[in-house]
Amino acid sequence: MNIFDITMDLHNHKSSVVRNIEYSIVRKLTLPQIRSIFTLLFIINYFTNTFVYSATNMSINPVVISSSVKQTATVIFLHGLGDSGNGWAEAMTQIRQPYMKIVCPSASPLAVSLNQGFRMPSWFDLFTLDESGPEDERGIKEAAQLVHSLIDNEIANSNVPSDRIALGGFSQGGALALYSAFTYKKPLAGVMALSCWIPLRKTFPAAAIGNKDIPIIQCHGDCDPIVPLKWGQLSASILKSFSKNTELKTYSGLMHSSSETELLDLQKFLKTVLPPV
């Protein structure tokens, strides 16, 4: 798959003027230049943030935001490559309802083949930009098992049923959220898939053993230079072949990032799939 995954979690909600200026600048850059810039951002992010990791692909202490009233639902959100749970915890807290608990785990450092073996927080390895190239099947499946364990722990420890748990993720984390949902047998509330793709797409629909009827919202910027919109559209087409309750929302001028409009759409989605009880 033609994926070079980066994390630009711009939750400061820049004005449209600033965003347009950014877009005009990026249009003048070549794709290799863009990738070099974002690789540098990875390095800066990695050495200026402190992470606590276990031997697995998840941190010992994921960012957890408890509900402000009695908990009746949980949102588990997975960050993108090079980020941590802290990168999305604030945004998820802003759009949640008071009865929702937020869990944002962090991936452990992994040598990413696509980035010349540089170690950065990653849920699984990325090998190539070629759409017909190999994917880290073992790593994806192992990461999904960890997500399943996180869901099971939430069910056991918080007394929240699986259908009151929503998954979400950005970029690589969104890809993992989709794969984890379809390979989990218990029913979930829904999935938020931001600026991402469906991994191991050729294994579907056979690989989907559960959650084929749950609501799924895909969100993608039409100016994304890293995970192009066409990959979101291809993934949407694949999902619709076996999952009938899916929606792809596109955002004009949005790059590999989030926006206030997108977050408002996610807030509406969470209210729908996790209503008060």
- Residues noted as catalytic: 171, 224, 256
Token couple for 35: 């990738």
- Strand 109-112 relative to strand 118-121, pairing: antiparallel
Strands of the chain, DSSP E? 63-65, 73-78, 100-104, 109-112, 118-121, 165-170, 190-194, 216-221, 246-251
Closest C-alpha among 108, 102, 119, 110 to residue 56 = 108
Query: How far apart, in Å, are the Cα atoms of 122 and each of 42, 81, 103, 268?
Result: 11, 5, 17, 29
Whole-number Å distance between alpha carbons of 205 and 207: 5
Radius of gyration of the chain (CA): 17
Sequence-ordered list of residues with C-beta below 8 angstroms from that of 13, at least 6 positions apart, any chain: 259, 260, 263
3-state secondary structure of 34: helix
246 forms bridges with which residues in the sheet? 216
How remote is the C-alpha of 148 from its chain's centroid? Answer: 15
